Structure 1
Amino acid sequence: MLKIEGIAAFVAVAEAGSVSEAARRLRLSKSVVSERLAEVERTLGAALLHRTTRKLTLTEDGSAFLERATRIVREVSEAAADMAERRGTLAGPLRIAAPVTFGRLHLGPALYPFLAAHPEIELTLDLDDRRVDAAADGYDAVIRHGPIADTRLIAWKLAGSRRLLCASPDYIARNGAPASLAKLEEHSGIFYTNRGSADWRFEGPDGPVVIRARMALRVNNGDMIADAAAAGLGIALLPTFIAGPEIRAGRLAEIDVGCRPEAEFIYMATSESRHVSAKLRAIVQQLKQAFGDPPYWEV
């Protein structure tokens, strides 16, 4: 009979691409993981992995088994966590993805007290500025900054996110500050690549207005956008959780063009097909409380 420990070892090796990395993630010795993997293959009577000196790859049987094995491991983990929650304990693994800058500045400090209060939660937090897919990439939830558009997601608003046009005092001294949306198009812009296009959207009197400034730089990280703007490369549209400290320090100055950028949010989302655990709901409430309404970074 297949043992859940062996199935979990196979899933970990398939996801990690090596026995060594799987052993590190499972906090087991390499020999134990290899043993469990070999036992699964003996029980199934099939080789699940091609082994070479450089890497491991799935066999045809391994690919066929992986989808169900992943689901089995996840459901057993969720069942164990549900039993713990019935006893009033938040426990078990949780995998969340979040943007790098927001994670470093605000998410981490909001989560640390919660994790200290619930030591049986095993949180894996992946900080990455790419737009990950909550369902396809195997995350329990993702934290995002922007509009809520994906209808396949269950989403919770954690905080509002006000954005500002800003540039360095040096750039404004050299080029002037645009006083209207029409003038804004004549300036150099620093854009966030993960938005998918080099434009800014504003709330005009007759509906959304799209502005395309001259491109000075495109980059996929908010910290670098702020740094580039402070270096005088152009105008940036930044959330206040990034721009606020830079404006207070005098490295950036706010620009008023008479229209607000479109509203955005910090939100947590999960696939509508996933079971929403008590620990995930508890983290949502913790983050809402920690960020405040309006969020503390607006002060």
Structure 2
Amino acid sequence: MKDKRILFVSSEVVPYLPETELSSTAFNAAKNAHSKGVQTRIFMPRYGVINERRHQLHEVIRLSGMNLVVNDVDMPLIIKVASIPKERMQVYFIDNEEYFKRKAVFTDEDDQLFSDNDERAIFFAKGVIETVKKLNWAPDIIHVHGWLASLLPLYLKEFYKEEPLFTESKIVTSLYNNSFEGTLDTELANKVKFDMGEGKKLATIETPSHTNILKSAIENSDAIIHGSETISEELESFIKEKEMPVLEYQLENLKESYLNFYADLLSVD
């Protein structure tokens, strides 16, 4: 795996957000790969709760300045970058004042999901891809963590399917037991449809529940990793139907098992 390129895309990463199973696993997966000579890039949203001064975030002018269209509205894309202390790993932050300035991550003070989480997910997915295009950095593996990042596989397989930078990339999605109640905005499928037109794959997110968003990620991925010890039976059954490579939950040997899983995936024609 030395000198291979892995793009880690996560809705949460320590030390920028509190330690959770998801934020820690995303960080450790990248750290372990980096320590073995793999070229890594980490992308996450720049939530308003992230202390930019403490973590030394700074805007990358040459990457910023694009506008992304979300539901027929132009939204400015700002790219910030920081280095994780001691690890020499770069983290790129997808930022937009409308979507990410608020001092919270997914929910308001009443613990209700933000009404625009669907558009935040679209903006994040497109922002990651457009930034990687500007970097001209073709990843061998794209490893997705967290439901806010779960539209990325769909966009890569459909909206950006002609983009040569990603034609050889293998998409891996990690699944976590971090569900939310209810659904995102019920217009999510129509907003995605604005980008990529009609398609069977959009039927999965017509009802944008946590489970259905992850199903969309699964059906547009090349392999799945269990990031939590247990995931819903519905998702388990859905994965079995797809007959795709799966790495079961790793409690101890995360470093070698993830790297071996990536290598096996790349060795398949």
- TM-score, normalised via structure 2 length: 0.26
* Larger RCO, structure (CA 8 Å, separation 6 or more): 1
Which structure: greater helix fraction? 1
> Which of the two has higher C-alpha Rg?
1
Structure in which a larger fraction of residues adopt strand: 1
TM-score, normalised relative to structure 1: 0.24
